[in-house]
Structure 1
C-alpha cells in the first residue's frame, strides 16, 4: 500500500469509513497506539511530521489520519495554527518512515494547480469518494441486510428510498432503525412505522402536492413541518430551489437531453433528476414559470410583510 493516501469528496461519512478501512487494512488490528488521528486545522506541520517519524509504541505499524486536509483544496480557510508548507513538501518528497498517512479532504475537488497537490498525486494515491448512485444504494441496502440475515421486499425497498432519498447518511441511519425493529423480512408496513421522511423528500412531496392542486394536503404537511420546528423562511427557500430544479429539468428534457446529462449539467444527483422528470411530464412549462414568479413574489413578502411567517407560508401554499 502507498504510504501517502488522499481521500476526498463531499460525503463525510463515506470518507470516514474509507479512511478507517484503509487504516485497518494496513494495520491489521487497530488500537490506540497504532492509529493516530490529527486535525490539520489544529496541528502544526512540524508536529505532524514528528508524529509520523516517531516509532509506534507496542505495535509493528503506525497510521495517521489527518482530518480536514484543506491545504489540498482552493478553499480559503482559517486555521488555529500557521503551517510551513515548504517543510511539509520537503518531508513528503523525501519520506523515509514507514507510517501510513491518510489525508481526509471534505471537498468535491482538489486544487491540482498547487505544488503540494501535484506532489501527492505523483508520490501518493488519491481516491475520490463519490455520491452513490441509486443502483449502488439499493445494492448497499440489500448487502447490509444480508449481513444481518435479513431481507427486504421490493415494495418496501422502493418505499424506503422514497422516504430517505439517496443520501448515504440518511439511508444508513434509517436502515439501522428498521433492522432493530424487524425480525427477518422488512415490509412496507415496517418502513411506514419507523423510517423518517427526509427534508428533501418532504419538500419534493410538498411541491408535488402543490402542482397537482392538492392544497389541503399541502397545508397539512406544512403544519407538520412547522411543528417539527422547521423555519418557514428555510422551507420557502427549499421550495424555491425545488421549483427551479423542476423548471430546469423541464427545459432540458424538452430539448431531448437524457437524465444523466441533465444531472451532470445541473450538478445534482441523478436520483433527484429522475424524480423531477417523472413529475414535470405532467405539467406545462408555462405553469412552472408561473410558480417561479409566485415564489419570487413570496420571497419579497417574507422580507417586507408585517404578518407572521407561519401565516405567510400557509397563504403562500394556498396561493401557489
Structure 2
C-alpha cells in the first residue's frame, strides 16, 4: 500500500502498473490522479474508444468488466477500465451479489492482460472508516493507493487553481478565509463550494466580504428548511416573522437570500428527480446532500408545483439583482419575495 505522493513519484518515473485501487475520503483527488494515468496511457484522439467505466453501485455481474478488460485496445497500446465508487470493496458490503463480484475480481486480477490498466476506487464515508480485509487481500495483487486529504499550503494552491480555472481571482487573505470556512478538506465538496461562490458573485475578484456573506455559519440549514416550510404552508406572516428573528440575531439578509435560492434550486431538482422515479439514495448522491436532508426536501417538494418552484427561484434572482444593483432595502425585498412565493 502506498500514499498519493509515492504514486505520483512512480508516475513521474513512468512506472505504470497493471491495476490500481484508490481508497480514501477525497474523491476529487482520486479522479485527478486517475486522469494522470489516462493522460500517460491514452492518445487523446482515441481516448473515448479505449476508456471504459462502470458505476460500482450499479454493477451486479463481473462479465461486463471482464469483456471490457479482455477486448483489445483500438489504435493504442493500452486501454483503461475503471470501476468508480466500488462499494463492493468495503467490508460493510457483504450480500451475495457483492461477495460474488468481489471474488470474481479477486480471481481475475492476476490474469489481467498486459494491454489493460484496471482501476477501482472506494470513497470512505468518514475519517473513522478503515481499510478493510477485502482491500488488504487485493493489496498483494495490485497497487493500493491511500488518498488522504491534503492540507495547508498545498490545499490553498489547489483551491486557488479551482478559482482560476473559472476566470476568478482570489488573493491570499480571502483564500485563507475561504479555507477556514470549509468543514473538511474534501476537494470534491470544496469544488462545489467554489462553484457556488463563483455563481453568487458578479465580480471577477473574490473578496473577503463575499466569503463572510456566504459563510455566516450562524444561519443553518434547519432555519432555511423551516422558512421554506412556512412558505409551502402559505404562512406568509409566520415566514416573515422567522426572517425578522434571524436578522434580529444579526444574520446577514444576503446570506439568508443565497441559502433560500439554493434551497429552492434543490427542491426543483428533487421534484424533477422524484417525478423521474429516482430514489432518495440516488438523489442524495447526485445532489451531494445528506440522505436525511434529502428526505426533508422530498417532503417539501410535494407541497409545490414545478411552476411554483420555478417562480420562487426567479423571485430570488430578481431580489438578489435589486439588492446588488439598486438602493432597494434588502430586508424589504426578501419580505416581498416571501409573500409573493407564498401566494404564487
TM-score interval w.r.t. the shorter chain? 0.5 to 0.7
Distance apart, 1:11 and its partner CA: 2.6
Task: Show the counterpart of 1:246.
Answer: none
Task: Show the counterpart of 2:279.
Answer: none
The 8 Å contact of residues 152 and 187 in structure 1, kept in 2 or not, is answered as yes
The 8 Å contact of residues 53 and 84 in structure 2, kept in 1 or not, is answered as yes
1:1-320 mapped onto 2 (5 Å cutoff):
1-29=16-44, 31-40=47-56, 41-76=58-93, 83=100, 85-107=102-124, 108-112=129-133, 114=134, 117-145=135-163, 151-166=169-184, 167-176=186-195, 185-191=205-211, 196-197=214-215, 202-203=219-220, 216-217=248-249, 228=263
SS at match of 2:49: coil
Distance, in Å, in 2 between the alignment partners of 1:78 and 1:118 is 19
Distance apart, 1:47 and its partner CA: 2.7
Residues 223-260 of structure 1 deviation map (CA, whole Å, 9 limit, x = unaligned): 87789579xxx79xxxxxxxxxxxxxxxxxxxxxxxxx
The 8 Å contact of residues 149 and 184 in structure 1, kept in 2 or not, is answered as yes
The 8 Å contact of residues 33 and 58 in structure 1, kept in 2 or not, is answered as no
The change in CA–CA distance for 1:11 and 1:97 in structure 2 (over 3 A counts) is same
The 8 Å contact of residues 167 and 204 in structure 2, kept in 1 or not, is answered as yes
Distance, in Å, in 2 between the alignment partners of 1:171 and 1:155 is 17
The change in CA–CA distance for 1:52 and 1:155 in structure 2 (over 3 A counts) is same
Residues 257-289 of structure 1 deviation map (CA, whole Å, 9 limit, x = unaligned): xxxxxxxxxxxxxxxxxxxxxxxxxxxxxxxxx
Q: Which moved more, 1:88-97 or 1:218-227?
A: 218-227
Query: Could you list the runs of 5+ residues in structure 1 that have no partner in the other structure?
Result: 207-213, 236-320
Distance, in Å, in 2 between the alignment partners of 1:11 and 1:77 is 24
Distance apart, 1:109 and its partner CA: 3.2
Query: Could you list the runs of 5+ residues in structure 2 that have no partner in the other structure?
Result: 1-15, 224-245, 267-291, 294-344
Distance, in Å, in 2 between the alignment partners of 1:85 and 1:187 is 49
SS at match of 2:145: strand
Task: Show the counterpart of 1:253.
Answer: none
Distance apart, 1:138 and its partner CA: 1.5
Distance, in Å, in 1 between the alignment partners of 2:98 and 2:189 is 34
Distance apart, 1:201 and its partner CA: 7.2
The change in CA–CA distance for 1:191 and 1:88 in structure 2 (over 3 A counts) is closer
Root-mean-square deviation over aligned CA pairs:
4.2
Distance apart, 1:49 and its partner CA: 1.7
Task: Show the counterpart of 2:6.
Answer: none
The 8 Å contact of residues 53 and 97 in structure 1, kept in 2 or not, is answered as no
The change in CA–CA distance for 1:67 and 1:148 in structure 2 (over 3 A counts) is closer
SS at match of 1:83: helix
Report the TM-score when normalising by structure 1. 0.53
